[in-house]
Amino acid sequence: MKKVFKKGEVLPLIGNEGIVVGALEAGVQSVFTYPGTPASEIGNLFYKIKENYGIYMEYSTNEIVALESGAGAAFSGLKTLVAMKHFGANVALDALIPLAHTKPRGGMVIVIADDPGCHSSAQSEQDSRILWQNLYLPILEPSTPSEAKEFTKIAFTLSETFQKPVIIRTTTRVSHQGGPVKIGQIKIQKKKGVFKKEKERFDTMPPFVLKQKADLISLKEKTEKYLEKIGLNKISPGKIKEIGAITSGVSHLYLLESLKKFNISLPILKIDSFYPLPSKKIINFLRKKKKIIVAEEIIDLIEREVKILSKEVNPQVKILGKDIVGLVGEMNTEKTSLLLTEALKLKYQKTPEKKIKLPVKRTPRFCPGCPYWSIFNALAKEIKKEKVVFTGDIGCYMIGYFPPFEMQDTLLCMGSSLGLAHGIDKSTKQKVIAFIGDSTFFHASLPNIINIVNNQSNPLIIIFDNQITAMTGRQPHPGTPLKYKTHDGKKEIKIEKILTALGIENLIILDPIKENQLLREKIREFLKEDKLKVIICRHPCRYVNALEKAKLRY
Amino acid sequence: MNILLTGIGGQGIITLKKVLSYAVLKEGKFFRSSELHGLSQKGGEVLVHFRIADQEIFSPLIEKGGADLIISLDLYQASRVVDFASKKTIFIVDNSFLPFFQLKKFSQSDFLKIASPFSKKIFILEASKICQEKLDSDVYKGIALLGFTCFQKIIPLKEKSMTWALKKVFPADLFQKNKKAFLLGKTL
């Protein structure tokens, strides 16, 4: 098979592609993921190149399935990468915490991509680093695409050395940051793994799990030394001695930009490993300083640790961070400049506020020919939206929130439209319609649908089935038909067969574009009857083949 | 040089970014960019920050008021980013407007009213019209605008590197059409 990347070549890559190349250079053998922005391109690239490099890669049903399967591969000795967005880490958390107590035989790297500013995350602004308090696993934070590559390689070596999974935490502005990346030697290691039984490594039965926990915590010091030895968490010197900056991730770049603008040189400690934090280095860095600036994304986690450490060594030091820039929204150069202004009492000339108000934002809308548009159009024609509760979910049908339809009254997380519909139906006399997508159906809906059948509520469930995971880039899912180019030759699972097996009789499958009148009839029917109804609206996304492998170009 | 590329999801803004990236590397220069993906880009506004320099630069984002060049595939989208512009900003804007639910009409003069105070020079070009006439589709308009910026020497990249970049980004069949679109930039 043709190799995609050539050693020595400098390519323009985004952070997510950097992670893939880093994993290839580390000799990754198996990859498990569920798509989610800003992590999606990691899976997309592996999907396109897996045959070229003899890698096993799959789109798993959801993130916990990906993580557990990845753990199985790593327990069997294969170098494994699992990638997900921050909410995916919530889904996977049930397996992630015990997994931290085990000792994979192959290197295992887990990529978690946060989205400060909620650019592509409907639910909330979440800082996945906070997981460290339960995990005690190394968390590395790159700030550029080329660091994303290097840190992924380091993560694999670290994981193999200490026999623990290692986390790479990125944010949108790292995952989707473009920059030059030099390609190194790619290792190809095609071989089967072997699962060698060893309960103490892989089984977390109590009370042994407490011994495993003690081991896990004790790794902190060794890991810290190792990272120090390989040159992570560097201090760059500066001319001003009494003020210093501690930075991480992309915030490091914003601070450098501000320093350049003001022509100031400060000593900077760049935190590459959020866990273990280089505490000794931080303590030394704090000595003799009057002020410390902390620049990090989302929660003031490094800042709090720095405050605790300062009590010991320099209680007078003033620490400036989120109290200046706030806890909401992403970091940027304006914010790091504000921090500098405060610390150095500079006259920072903010760009004068424009007198004009920016015109309104163009909201997203359905692509031309989108089958979801036809579904909302049918709903709008048959229903006065004030009379019905619409529970929304995660997928392209969230566009129904915006004008002209404005049909989405709730939104929590993957699969939640069904739980909410059940709860509202049980608690009110109102009519409830739940929206759920096809990929979301497989990802997170089964326990909810079983609950609706078992505990008997009567919502209308509309399954928006465009046969692909459209919103994140048209990745295949378990229901994607074999006939599409993006299908991976897996077994196709039919949603209707699952629903029939659950005893749902009031089930209709229709094409929302070709059978729009029938859809309208079925909606009318539901408004009159008082029983559970499921309509599968099936019509392929117009861009169902967008992820076609032939389209790969570097 | 700080360049903002803007338009509407589906118009190929990310492709323009790729072409610029390859051309920059071909010339041994440095770049850092930032783009967004996901739901809000579906038929919504797309904004790519692209910074070129001879040596390493830091932030992937352009500050408010910090754009040297704004290339927009839609008049309205250009008006949406005037907070990134200043008296030193050059606008290169396609003379088209895709209506949306809240706004049915938006004219050249509407745009000029908003953007003029924050610009050094504004070019409103007939890229979609000419691409439609000569290449049967306005999908090439972004590449035509890139051609214009190159031939007018507004960006510090040579025609040769840009053509090389087009070859890297597009498969053979699409390369020919895009090269034609790029050359149409001369006539805009």
What digits encode the pLDDT tens for the residues A65-86? 999 999 999 999 999 999 999 9
Could you report the per-residue pLDDT of A388-443, keeping only the tens digit for each?
Answer: 999 999 999 999 999 999 999 999 999 999 999 999 999 999 999 999 999 999 99
Could you report the per-residue pLDDT of A221-259, keeping only the tens digit for each?
Answer: 999 999 999 999 999 999 999 999 999 999 999 999 999
Q: Which of residues 162-201 of A touch B (CB under 8 A)?
A: 172-173, 176-180
| Cβ contact, residue pair B65, A363, below 8 Å | no
Could you report the per-residue pLDDT of A296-329, keeping only the tens digit for each?
Answer: 999 999 999 999 999 999 999 999 999 999 999 9
Residue of B3, B42, B72, B116 to mutate, testing the A interface (most A Cβ within 10 Å of its Cβ): B42
CA distance A78 to chain B (A): 31
CB-based burial label for A217 (10 Å; 0-12, 13-18, 19+):
exposed
Q: Which of A12, A333, A551 shows the shortest C-beta gap to B22?
A: A12
ipTM of the complex: 0.97
Total structural domains in chain B? 1
Cα nearest neighbour of A250 on chain B? B59
Could you report the per-residue pLDDT of A361-373, keeping only the tens digit for each?
Answer: 888 899 989 999 9
Residue with tokens 């605790």: A308
- The answer to whether the beta carbons of residues A255 and A336 sit under 8 Å apart is yes
Query: Domain residues for B64?
Result: 2-187
What pLDDT does A352 receive? 56
Q: Which two tokens stand for residue B46?
A: 């797309």
What pLDDT does A3 receive? 86
What does pLDDT average to over chain A? 95
Kindly report the backbone phi and psi dihedral angles of residue A350, in degrees, each rounded to the nearest multiple of 5, phi listed first: -70, 145
Residue numbers in A near B40 (CB within 8 A)? 119-120, 364
Residue numbers in B near A38 (CB within 8 A)? 37-38
CA distance A160 to chain B (A): 32
CB-based burial label for B30 (10 Å; 0-12, 13-18, 19+):
middle
- Enumerate the H helices of A278-370 as residue ranges: 279-286, 301-313, 322-325, 333-344
Could you report the per-residue pLDDT of A150-166, keeping only the tens digit for each?
Answer: 999 999 999 999 999 99
- The answer to whether the beta carbons of residues B48 and B20 sit under 8 Å apart is no
Q: Which of B34, B35, B39 shows the shortest C-beta gap to A471?
A: B39
| Cβ contact, residue pair A364, B43, below 8 Å | yes
Residue with tokens 């010991």: A312
Q: Is the confidence at residue A349, as pLDDT, over 80?
A: no
| Cβ contact, residue pair B43, A250, below 8 Å | no
pLDDT confidence bin for A353, thresholds 50/70/90: low
| Cβ contact, residue pair B36, A176, below 8 Å | yes
Residue numbers in A near B38 (CB within 8 A)? 37-38, 119-121, 471-472
Cα nearest neighbour of B30 on chain A? A180
Could you report the per-residue pLDDT of A265-301, keeping only the tens digit for each?
Answer: 999 999 999 999 999 999 999 999 999 999 999 999 9
Provide the total of helices (H) and of strands (E) in chain A, helices listed first. 20, 19
A416 contact B CB<8A = no
Q: Which of A257, A354, A366 shows the shortest C-beta gap to B59?
A: A257
Residue numbers in A near B25 (CB within 8 A)? 10-12, 180
DSSP conformational letter for A493: -
| Cβ contact, residue pair A176, B34, below 8 Å | yes
Residue of B3, B58, B82 to mutate, testing the A interface (most A Cβ within 10 Å of its Cβ): B58
Kindly report the backbone phi and psi dihedral angles of residue A206, in degrees, each rounded to the nearest multiple of 5, phi listed first: -75, 155
What pLDDT does A351 receive? 56
A12 contact B CB<8A = yes
Query: Measured in whole angstroms, how far is the alpha carbon of residue A223 from the centre of its chain?
Result: 25
Could you report the per-residue pLDDT of A521-535, keeping only the tens digit for each?
Answer: 999 999 999 999 999
What pLDDT does B39 receive? 72
pLDDT confidence bin for A350, thresholds 50/70/90: low
Whether the CA torsion A146, A147, A148, A149 is positive or negative: it is positive
Other Cβ atoms less than 10 A from the Cβ of A210: the count is 11
Average confidence (pLDDT) over B67-80: 97
Cα nearest neighbour of B15 on chain A? A553
C-alpha triplet A414, A417, A421: angle, nearest 5°: 155
Q: Which of B9, B32, B83 shows the shortest C-beta gap to A358?
A: B83
- Calculate what percentage of chain A has a pLDDT beyond 90: 90
Q: Which of residues 476-535 of A touch B (CB under 8 A)?
A: none
pLDDT confidence bin for A354, thresholds 50/70/90: low
Query: Measured in whole angstroms, how far is the alpha carbon of residue A531 from the centre of its chain?
Result: 37
Q: Which of B25, B45, B63 shows the shortest C-beta gap to A180?
A: B25
- Enumerate the H helices of A39-119 as residue ranges: 40-53, 63-75, 86-101
Beta strands in chain B (DSSP E): 2-8, 30-34, 45-53, 69-72, 90-94, 121-125
Residue numbers in B near A363 (CB within 8 A)? 44, 100-102
Cα nearest neighbour of B174 on chain A? A551
Average confidence (pLDDT) over A333-352: 85
Residue of A37, A119, A362 to mutate, testing the B interface (most B Cβ within 10 Å of its Cβ): A362
Kindly report the backbone phi and psi dihedral angles of residue A342, in degrees, each rounded to the nearest multiple of 5, phi listed first: -65, -45
* Nearest-angstrom CA–CA distance, A53 and A28: 9
| Cβ contact, residue pair A351, B63, below 8 Å | yes
Q: Is the confidence at residue A92, as pLDDT, over 70?
A: yes
What pLDDT does A355 receive? 59
- The answer to whether the beta carbons of residues A214 and A220 sit under 8 Å apart is no
- The answer to whether the beta carbons of residues A171 and A114 sit under 8 Å apart is yes
Q: Which two tokens stand for residue A435?
A: 């929206």
What pLDDT does B41 receive? 72
Q: Which of B30, B39, B169 shows the shortest C-beta gap to A396?
A: B39
- CATH code for the domain of B28: 3.40.920.10
What pLDDT does A157 receive? 98
Whether the CA torsion B59, A275, A37, A1 is positive or negative: it is positive
The kind and range of the H/E element at A170 are strand A166-171
Kindly provide the b/e burial profile for residues A350-362, where b requires at least 16 CB atoms within 10 angstroms of the residue's own CB: eeeebeeeebeeb
| Cβ contact, residue pair B100, A362, below 8 Å | yes
A356 contact B CB<8A = yes
Structural domains of chain A, ranges and CATH numbers in brackets: 10-229 (3.40.50.970), 235-344 (3.40.50.920), 371-549 (3.40.50.970)
DSSP conformational letter for A357: P
A329 contact B CB<8A = no
Among candidates B89, B184, B77, B84, which has minimal Cα distance to B138? B184
Residue numbers in B near A359 (CB within 8 A)? 76, 79-80, 103, 114
